[in-house]
A and B are shown apart, each in its own frame.
Chain A
Amino acid sequence: VLPMCLSSHNTLVIKFFFLSAFFPLKLETQATGENLEFRLISSPRLSNLPGWSLKDGSAFLDKELKECSGHVFVDSVPEFCLPETELIDLSTVDVILISNYHCMMALPYITEHTGFTGTVYATEPTVQIGRLLMEELVNFIERVPKAQSASLWKNKDIQRLLPSPLKDAVEVSTWRRCYTMQEVNSALSKIQLVGYSQKIELFGAVQVTPLSSGYALGSSNWIIQSHYEKVSYVSGSSLLTTHPQPPERTLLPKVDLLILTLLTSTPYDNPIKCVSSFASTFLALTVRNGGNVLVPCYPSGVIYDLLECLYQYIDSAGLSNIPFYFISPVANSSLEFSQIFAEWLCHNKQTKVYLPEPPFPHAELIQTNKLKHYPSLHGDFSSDFRQPCVVFTGHPSLRFGDVVHFMELWGKSSLNTVIFTEPDFSYLEALAPYQPLAMKCIYCPIDTRLNFIQVSKLLKEVQPLHVVCPEQYTQPPPAQSHRMDLMIDCQPPAMSYRRAEVLALPFKRRYEKIEIMPELADALVPMEIKPGISLATVSAVLHTKDNKHVLQPPPRPAQPSGGKKRKRASEDIPDCKVLKPLLSGSIPVEQFVQTLEKHGFSDIKVEDTAKGHIVLLQEAETLIQIEEDSTHIICDNDEMLRVRLRDLVLKFLQKF
């Protein structure tokens, strides 16, 4: 097993035997925040930002780089950092397993441009909501009027001279522009839908099974197992029940290898507290003072919980006259889709569907006209727009999408508030290009993924032989280096990986399962050699097809056929007229050398190797390799000699 890390923490290739499984694929939007976008309807401020020049005064970069409140930004069409695709030949990858809809954003890059021809597995909600996320992204990017990507700054010699974080950005030369909707559709058509706890046979050798991970609609952990080995991939799991089905834990124990990734990105915040204070305090306060609230968010996921929370607090928080707007090209679809995945929801929500009522209360918010959704700012929204209000819109990086407009519109007034709930982006970096801001900013990340306390409980429960995780989880966060509780602590220590690293694991396949046909099993005569252990010799034909091994009865001696062809029988069992004897036993090297000498060989040298011995017959330029499970006679031209040596070897072995 050879995991390879293809990005800083979300993409992993595992070569499991000859089979490669591939866990994608969180698209790293440039989370470092260098990418600024200027599509602002009336924004003389941003387009008038000064260009930035190198210290030596050369100003050739000032078209690409802009300066704002002491930070330097790239002015370009947004680009995306992909998983590593150079390290392996993706055409040798057999399957891609998707953990949740956030982890499939890079899929079109892989399926459309790399020679990958395998199968992608994902659950139905993952695919449907993943499609919505991609559709929104494509739509946002298409609306960016910049035709040009900035490229001068990517020159290695220039990047070196730039201030942080630009100079630390990784693999800038491989950053790519967004895919098209056509590529998205083509990529999604290659996905095979699977259900929780469905056992999927891969080439007869391995079985993979998605299990509910509790993090998002349709999110899964994966079990990959053969008859004797079991690996589990735990990615983006949650123990807090919000709307998705709670995690399935019964199949996790007894694993040889546990791969643990996408833990919470906010280990010191309590997501439950954040959800409840979201509506009751932050939002209510702003609205009471006549201000507007902006919630940058993805079009699916946490927003359902936030809307539910608002629904509960409408009266107590004095929100009954405040309109909620949800603006996204996929707002309508997302709200509709959320109501039809009853089987993937938590128990409470399922029970509602049985009544039958919509599982999420946003159906009622829409019906009573409290929540309105629009594909974009243009059209109906501009005539309906009333302030003060609450707006949910994307993109949470604040680099593109309708959120940019609202930041511009409301940023200047201290009455307004922006509330960051998506944990993927640093809110300080997200806000940097908008500085100076009068608007209040509240950071209230709702990240329900596993924290370190939960991880250590999980590890105690599961007791995996080995743990593999991204490097960052094996040490405390850089800002809190004394917090030894904010890292994975287990025995043996977790093995860590980094982007573009190949990890060899102490994990070896030793056994293969073979089925014995009943008639053959019937004929066995076991002898007890020790109490409780019986042995029997088996003479059979090993039939291997699709990685399934079956022992079949050996062919009977050829019958004198009376002209009738018994085609069927000979098809099933391959012809092999002479059965070679079966050998067993080991070769004691000293005695073997003595025997060789007795038979006239001289100049014999014995070398010890890691696995056994090599007997060198220097004169004859011949090697005999004796290992635990094999003996090779390497002798180039002299067949007579080889046969003589073989017969000597055979003397030491028992025959059946």
Chain B
Amino acid sequence: CGRGSAPRSMPEIRVTPLGAGQDVGRSCILVSIAGKNVMLDCGMHMGFSDDRRFPDFSYITRNGRLTDFLDCVIISHFHLDHCGALPYFSEMVGYDGPIYMTHPTQAICPILLEDYRKIAVDKKGEANFFTSQMIKDCMKKVVAVHLHQTVQVDDELEIKAYYAGHVLGAAMFQIKVGSESVVYTGDYNMTPDRHLGAAWIDKCRPNLLITESTYATTIRDSKRCRERDFLKKVHEAVERGGKVLIPVFALGRAQELCILLETFWERMNLKAPIYFSTGLTEKANHYYKLFITWTNQKIRKTFVQRNMFEFKHIKAFDRAFADNPGPMVVFATPGMLHAGQSLQIFRKWAGNEKNMVIMPGYCVQGTVGHKILSGQRKLEMEGRQVLEVKMQVEYMSFSAHADAKGIMQLVGQAEPESVLLVHGEAKKMEFLKQKIEQEL
């Protein structure tokens, strides 16, 4: 999707999506620039469990080995749709070159990969999947990068990371060979949220900007409104003595929502207990504490007096608490209600109409989360048991992507010659394409 004005010179830049082009999931883009080949992200698709789960590497391997063809691989952040195929790619297909990512991504990514592997192999019984050892071997090929550090991949190819917001450690990358350059945004967020800052890039004038476009058509209602809505719902449920279940993934939104509730409880002087399920979430909060330089300005400034990730009102959850009388709020993993603690609690609480479940993110088809969101109220559980859902079911999107306005802002910051939209739906992209051509 070109940007109208004629380019200065005619650099040879080729972009081949191996995964997400005009859809969301399994992000994987091959960029060839002045004779160098760089692979951007290596994600998996949560909706498939066959070949379509991973990107199509045969596009490269039919002509030779990955290591010979690729100069480097760059991972923008730890979400599985951006890094989930990495061990498969490096250990099973075979790649020995460098893989670049930021420090927080390098720290957190293997944990999520292991989680993903456990669910696929142990729960769903899939064979021919990558092993724990492969995850470890794959991570040995990772080179961590600092923000704004210019990494010299070889004599000609250099890459540079910029802050992207979105999740802890998310980065945008500039890829440069001589005077030709491409910027890949990964997923990003142009408005600071409760725990992260806004994406920023300098006026680097790339030949091509490859940007995500998940929310290409929406100018989203302000974050404040959604937050107020969320708090109101939780508050109402607690006031009427109900129990609130919030299924979350361990890292990311969980922390944002915890901060939100923590400050609300403080301000309103509420007494109902808030819990988060133990294990990963507690560990996750620890990552946020140690990588606090990656969070937003306010949290960084005040962390000595008060570390925002040390919660006063939020306590560790014990299985026995679920049967306690009276209102409570529980954050539990996993986020799609497909297994584990969140599902257990859900089964206990589903029958009472005073209770509420809030789904703060997207759910894949086949999961309990997806079923109740699509209106199903009678669920068949294992052992032919039927669970009747009487509790209130709410959906609330808290995922942090740039909306149309944000994308335009970033284009304005970087001043690219051309813009390429990926990681979105075809129709919405068409709309944004016109908008970009009009305004720039």
Contacts and interface: CB of A to CB of B under 8 A. Distances in A.
B279 to A, nearest CB: 13
Interface stretch (B129-137, B283-291, B400-408): B283-291
Given A199-B150, A340-B293, A343-B144, A354 B106 contact: yes
A515 B291 CA distance: 42
Nearest to A335: B304
A426 interface: no
Contacts of B150: 197-199, 209
B107 A353 contact: yes
B419 to A, nearest CB: 22
Nearest to B285: A356
A195 B289 CA distance: 21
A339 interface: yes
A364 B148 CA distance: 33
A195 B293 CA distance: 13
Contacts of B106: 354
Size band of the interface chain A makes with B: 20 to 34
Contacts of B179: 515
B146 interface: yes
Interface string A333-351: 1001101111100000010
Contact of B304 (A209, A337, A342, A353): A337
Most chain B CB inside 10 Å of its own CB: which residue of A339, A341, A354: A354
A356 B287 contact: yes
Contacts of A357: 286
A359 B151 CA distance: 25
A354 B292 contact: no
Interface in A308-357: 332-333, 336-337, 339-343, 350, 353-354, 356-357
A81 B144 CA distance: 42
B9 A333 contact: no
Contacts of A518: 9-10
A592 interface: no
A336 B148 CA distance: 25
Contact of A343 (B10, B146, B151, B160): B146
A284 to B, nearest CB: 32
A343 B150 CA distance: 15
B147 interface: yes
Contacts of B147: 195
Interface string B255-287: 000000000000000000000000000010011
Nearest 6 pairs of A and B residues by beta carbon = A354-B107, A195-B146, A195-B148, A197-B149, A198-B148, A356-B286
A428 B149 CA distance: 44
A336 B304 contact: yes
A333 B307 CA distance: 12
B139 to A, nearest CB: 9
Nearest to B202: A201
14 contacts: A195-B149, A196-B149, A197-B146, A197-B149, A197-B151, A198-B148, A336-B304, A337-B304, A342-B291, A343-B144, A350-B103, A354-B107, A356-B107, A356-B287
Contact of A340 (B9, B148, B149, B291): B291
Given A342-B103, A350-B103, A353-B107, A194 B148 contact: yes
**Size bracket, chain B contacts:** 20 to 34
Given A343-B146, A354-B107, A356-B107, A333 B304 contact: yes
Contacts of B303: 336, 340
B304 A332 contact: yes
B187 to A, nearest CB: 21
A353 B286 CA distance: 9
B245 to A, nearest CB: 26
B303 to A, nearest CB: 7
Contact of B283 (A195, A332, A340, A356): A356
A358 B290 contact: yes
A337 B303 CA distance: 9
Chain B interface mostly helix, strand, loop or mixed?
mixed
B294 to A, nearest CB: 9
A124 interface: yes
B339 to A, nearest CB: 24
A197 B161 CA distance: 12
A125 to B, nearest CB: 9
Contacts of B304: 332-333, 336-337
Contacts of A358: 290
A301 to B, nearest CB: 18
Contacts of B290: 339-340, 342, 353, 356, 358-359
A342 B179 CA distance: 33
Nearest to B284: A356
**Listed residue (A195, A209, A333) with the most chain B CB atoms within 10 angstroms of its CB:** A195
A273 to B, nearest CB: 32
B292 A340 contact: yes
Contacts of B148: 194-195, 198
Interface in A116-147: 124
Interface in A515-556: 515, 517-518
B338 to A, nearest CB: 26
Contacts of B9: 517-518
A198 to B, nearest CB: 4
A209 B149 CA distance: 9
Contacts of A337: 304
A354 B287 CA distance: 8
B417 to A, nearest CB: 15
Given A196-B146, A209-B150, A339-B289, 4 more contacts: A340-B289, A340-B293, A353-B291, A354-B107
A518 B12 CA distance: 13
Nearest to A518: B9
Contacts of A209: 150
B38 to A, nearest CB: 19
A124 B293 CA distance: 9
Contacts of B160: 198
Contacts of A198: 146, 148-150, 160
Contacts of B144: 343, 350
A356 B251 CA distance: 13
Interface string A353-377: 1101111000000000000000000
A342 B102 CA distance: 12
Contacts of B146: 195-198, 343
A337 B305 CA distance: 11
Contacts of B289: 339-340
Contacts of A350: 103, 144
Interface in B57-90: none
A196 B144 CA distance: 12
A357 B290 CA distance: 8
